[in-house]
Amino acid sequence: MGVTNRYDAIIVGAGHNGLVNACYLARAGLKVLVLERNPFVGGAAVSRSLYDGFTYSNCSYVCSLLRTEIIRALALPQHGLQIIPYEGGCTMMRDGGHLAVYDNHDALRREIARHSPHDAEAYERYVRDMLRHCRFIKPLLLREPPDPTSFRPRDIHELMFLGKHFHNLGEARMYDTLRFWTMSCADMLEEYFESEIVKAHMAGSSIIGTALGPRSAGTAYVLLHHYMGSIDGAVGAWGFARGGMGAITQALASSFKASGGEVRVSAPVEQIRVRGGRATGVVLDDGEEISAPVVVSNMDVKRTFLKTVAAEHLPAEFIDQVRKFKIRGSSGKLNIALDGLPSFPAIPQGSPAMRGDLHITDTIEMLERGYDDWKEGRWSRAPYVDMLIPTQIDPTMTPDGKHYMSVFVQYCPYQLADGDWTDAKRQAFGKTVIDAIGAHSPDFKDLILHAEIRTPKDIENEVGLTEGNIFQGELTFDQLLFNRPVPGYAQYRAPVRGMYMCGSSTHPGGGVMGAPGANSAAAILRDLGRKV
C-alpha cells in the first residue's frame, strides 16, 4: 500500500451507481480508482453466501430498471450478466383466493376477468396509460435535470426541452400526466379497477421502499418508478440476475477493470479532503491519503455531506437542506434457505405464477394499515411481503433440490417507538413475517434451514445506506427531478469544485438503474472538457 498513485478520479463506494460511473470515466480514458468499505463490491446489489452452499441476493433482489443503454454501452452481457425475466407472479388473499399474474397478456386478462370482467377491460386502458407515462419519463432518465432558477443557456435549453416534451403530449394528455404524477396510487387505481384484489395487487409497487401509504399523494409515481424498467424491450418486466443481484455489480466491476480501472475493497473512506474550495482526494480510515482532482461519492447524500466532508467546506444553507432530505427506513428483508420448495395451495400447481413475485394482501386498506403501523413506530402487524424463490429458475444459487427465498417486507421502521432495535425485537419481526407466510404455506416453516432477518438498521450497518432506505432518499415530489437531492444541487455537482455525487440520492433516484451513475459521469466529463 506504500505506493500511492495519483488518480484522475476517485469513486467512493462500489455500489452499482459508483461502478457505472467508474466505467464511463475509465472508458473516457481517465485513471479511476473505486474505493469500497466492505470486503466485496456491489453495495446493495450483491450475492452473498451467508449459509453454507447458499447464495443470497442479500439486499436488492430483482432487476428491471437497469437502463438498457448502460447494459449495452458497458457490454455487461460479455462480462457475464444474464437477466432472466420471470413469467408471472401471484397475490394471495387471506380467504384462500388468488390473483395470478402472467407476462402473457391474454392469460393475464383472463385471470383478471375471473375477478372482474370490468377490470379485464380496464386493464387494457391501464396498460396503455402506464406505457404512455413510461414513454414520457424515459427520455428524462438519462438527462441532467435543469435548474429552474438559473439563466444559464444549458439550463434554459433543458427547461425548454422539458417544456416541449410535455407540450408534445397534447392538451388532454398533459392534464393526465400532471394528475398522474401527483395522485395517490389508491386514487389512480380507483379510476381503472373495481376489484379489491386487482387494486391491491397493483398497489404493492407503489409502497415498496417508500415511507408512504398507498393513499398518500405521490405514490402513483412510485408505482411508475417500478414500472418504467424493461428487460430486452419488454417494458414493465422484471427478472432475476443469474447468480443473484451481485452478478450485475460483478459484471460492472469486470467491465470497469477491462477498461483499466482499479478497485480496492476493505478501504473505508473516512474523509473527503477539500483544500481551497476544491476536492483534492480522500483519507482512508487507516490514515492513508489518496489524491485526485475529481472525487465522486456513491454514498447517500446525508452520509456524504454530514459525515464525510468537513462542514466548514460547505455552505450552511446546503448542509441545512441535506439535513432536511428525507431518507426513511421503511423496509425489512428476510433471506431464507429452504430445504425444498414450499407449497402454496392458493397457487395452481406448476403455474408460472409461482416462479415470480408472490404477495400476500387483499385490499389497499391492508397496505394502508401497514403504513399506519409504521407511522406509530412499529412494524406492520400484517406486513406486505414481496417474496420470490429465484432458485426455481436459477439453480446456481443453492445445492440441488434446495431453494432460496427472498422476502422483502414493507413496512418496518428504522426507529421503533419502544426504543432501539434489539436481537429479540428483530426475531419478533422475523416471526411476524414467517407466520404471515406460513399462513399461506403449510410446509413453509418446516423447510426453513436458515433465515437471515434484516431490519432497516441492519441494512444501514451493512450497506451504509442511511436508515436502510433502498432508494437513498424518498421518491416524493419534493425530492425528485431538480429537487433531488436538494434544490440547486441536482446536477450531480457538490458545492465543492471537483466533487460529484453519483448515488441514488440524485436524479432519477433509486432502484438498480444505473442512471445516476451514468448522468454523473457525463457531467464530470463535460466539466473536464472530454467527449461524453
Partner 1 sequence: MTTPARARYDAVIVGGGHNGLVCATYLARAGRSVLVLEAADRVGGAAVTREFAPGFQVSAGAHLLHLMPPALLNDLDLGAHGLKFAAHNLPTVALSADGQHLSMQAGGGSGARLSAADARAYTEWRRLMRQISGALHPLLNGAPPRLGTDAWSDRKSLMRLGWRIRRLGRRDMRELLRIGLMNVHDLLEDRFESPQLKGALALDAVLGTNYGPRSPGSVLSLLYRLAATGGTEVLSQPQGGLGALSAALGRAATAAGAEIHTAAPVERILVKDDRASGVALASGQQVLAPVVVSNADPKTTFLGLLGAEFLDAGFVRRITHLRTRGFTGKVHLALDRLPKFPGLDPESLRGRLLVAPDADYIERAYNHAKYNEYSAVPMLEVTVPSLSDPSLAPAGSHVVSIVVQYAPYELNEGWATGRQRFTDIVIDTLGAYAPGLRECVRASELLTPADIEREFRIHGGHWHHAEIAFDQFFMVRPVPGATQYETPLPGLFLCGAGCHPGGGVMGLAGRNAARQVMNRAA
Query: The cell 405514490 sits on which residue?
Result: 219
Q: What is the number of other CB atoms lying within 10 angstroms of the CB of residue 139? A: 11
How many chain residues bind partner 1 (CB under 8 A)? 38
Alpha helices in 95-226 (DSSP H): 105-115, 117-141, 153-167, 171-182, 185-190, 196-207, 219-225
Q: Which of 88, 86, 60, 78 is nearest to 391 (CA)?
A: 86
Contact 189, 202 (CB under 8 A): yes
Q: Does the protein bind partner 1 through residue 368 (CB under 8 A)?
A: yes
Among 160, 478, 526, 532, binds partner 1 (CB under 8 A): 478
Q: Does the protein bind partner 1 through residue 172 (CB under 8 A)?
A: yes
Q: What is the number of other CB atoms lying within 10 angstroms of the CB of residue 531? A: 8
Contact 30, 8 (CB under 8 A): yes
DSSP 273-342: EEETTEEEEEEETTS-EEE-SEEEE-S-HHIIIIIIB-GGGS-HHHHHHHHHS-----EEEEEEEESSPP
Q: Which range, of 19-27, 107-115, 193-201, 211-219, touches partner 1 by CB under 8 A?
A: 211-219
Q: Which is nearer to partner 1, 256 or 489 (CB)?
A: 489
Phi/psi of residue 205, nearest 5 degrees: -65, -15
Q: Which is nearer to partner 1, 182 or 271 (CB)?
A: 182
- The 8-class DSSP code of residue 529 comes to T
With a CB cutoff of 8 Å and minimum separation 6, the contacts of 316 are none
Q: Does the protein bind partner 1 through residue 171 (CB under 8 A)?
A: yes
Q: Which range, of 36-44, 69-77, 100-108, 365-373, touches partner 1 by CB under 8 A?
A: 365-373
CB of 91 to partner 1, least distance (A): 21
Among 118, 143, 264, 326, binds partner 1 (CB under 8 A): 326
Which amino acid type is present at position 130? M
Q: Does the protein bind partner 1 through residue 124 (CB under 8 A)?
A: no
With a CB cutoff of 8 Å and minimum separation 6, the contacts of 287 are none
Q: Which range, of 22-30, 172-180, 498-506, 511-519, touches partner 1 by CB under 8 A?
A: 172-180
Q: Does the protein bind partner 1 through residue 175 (CB under 8 A)?
A: yes
Q: Which range, of 284-292, 308-316, 322-330, 422-430, touches partner 1 by CB under 8 A?
A: 322-330
Contact 352, 377 (CB under 8 A): no
Q: Does the protein bind partner 1 through residue 418 (CB under 8 A)?
A: no
Query: The cell 409497487 sits on which residue?
Result: 205
CB of 206 to partner 1, least distance (A): 13
Q: Which range, of 167-175, 270-278, 353-361, 418-426, touches partner 1 by CB under 8 A?
A: 167-175
CB of 225 to partner 1, least distance (A): 15
Q: Which range, of 180-188, 245-253, 274-282, 381-389, touches partner 1 by CB under 8 A?
A: 180-188
Q: Which is nearer to partner 1, 70 or 183 (CB)?
A: 183
Q: Which range, of 249-257, 482-490, 503-511, 515-523, touches partner 1 by CB under 8 A?
A: 482-490
Q: Does the protein bind partner 1 through residue 149 (CB under 8 A)?
A: yes
CB of 382 to partner 1, least distance (A): 14
Q: Does the protein bind partner 1 through residue 92 (CB under 8 A)?
A: no
Q: Does the protein bind partner 1 through residue 196 (CB under 8 A)?
A: no
Q: Does the protein bind partner 1 through residue 205 (CB under 8 A)?
A: no
Q: Which range, of 47-55, 62-70, 229-237, 362-370, touches partner 1 by CB under 8 A?
A: 362-370
With a CB cutoff of 8 Å and minimum separation 6, the contacts of 79 are 250, 251, 252, 254, 255, 258
Q: Does the protein bind partner 1 through residue 217 (CB under 8 A)?
A: yes
Among 212, 296, 407, 513, binds partner 1 (CB under 8 A): 212
Q: Does the protein bind partner 1 through residue 72 (CB under 8 A)?
A: no
Contact 17, 303 (CB under 8 A): no
Among 49, 77, 427, 477, binds partner 1 (CB under 8 A): 477
Round to whole Å and give the CA distance between 353 and 54: 24
- Per DSSP bridges, beta strands 384-388 and 403-410 are antiparallel
Q: Does the protein bind partner 1 through residue 324 (CB under 8 A)?
A: yes
Q: Does the protein bind partner 1 through residue 183 (CB under 8 A)?
A: yes
Q: Which is nearer to partner 1, 79 or 484 (CB)?
A: 484
Contact 37, 18 (CB under 8 A): no
With a CB cutoff of 8 Å and minimum separation 6, the contacts of 307 are none
- Residues interacting with partner 1, by CB under 8 A? 148-149, 167, 169-172, 174-176, 178-180, 182-183, 187, 190-191, 212, 215-218, 323-324, 326, 365, 368-369, 372, 375, 476-478, 482-483, 487-488
